[in-house]
Amino acid sequence: MEDVRVYADFHRISPELFERIRDSIPFDQVEYDGDVLRLDHEGVYLMIDDFLELIRDALPEGGYGHVEYIDNLEWVVTRYTITPGRIDEKRVLVDNVLDAHMRDHGM
């Protein structure tokens, strides 16, 4: 089992911005399509704080992004929402997510 799974998408990423941040991307899988940057990583722990701060400071007006950082060992999901100049973070225990899903869907 991988230590973590991390999935991210960032919107309003111009080709110029992508070229500027490209070498700082710590993710294994990188997909850039027009103005959307999608990033994935499944494996050992991934340090993303510096990259999130870089994106926060580089996003244009109206730009935004989301990151789901799933810690399989601690069984915690950290959800990041990134907008120009701001990073919001919310930690959720995976058991709580599963319990809510089961409750909402009658399982």
All structural domains of the chain: 4-104 (3.30.70.1270)
Each residue's pLDDT tens digit in the chain (107 positions)?
689 999 999 999 999 999 999 999 999 999 999 899 999 999 999 999 999 999 999 999 999 999 999 999 999 999 999 999 999 999 988 776 656 556 666 65
How would you class 7 by CB atoms within 10 Å of its CB: exposed for 0-12, middle for 13-18, buried for 19 or more? Answer: middle
CA distance 11 to 38: 9
pLDDT confidence of residue 106: 64
**Six-digit token string for 5:** 């799974």
Whether the CA torsion 99, 102, 105, 107 is positive or negative: it is negative
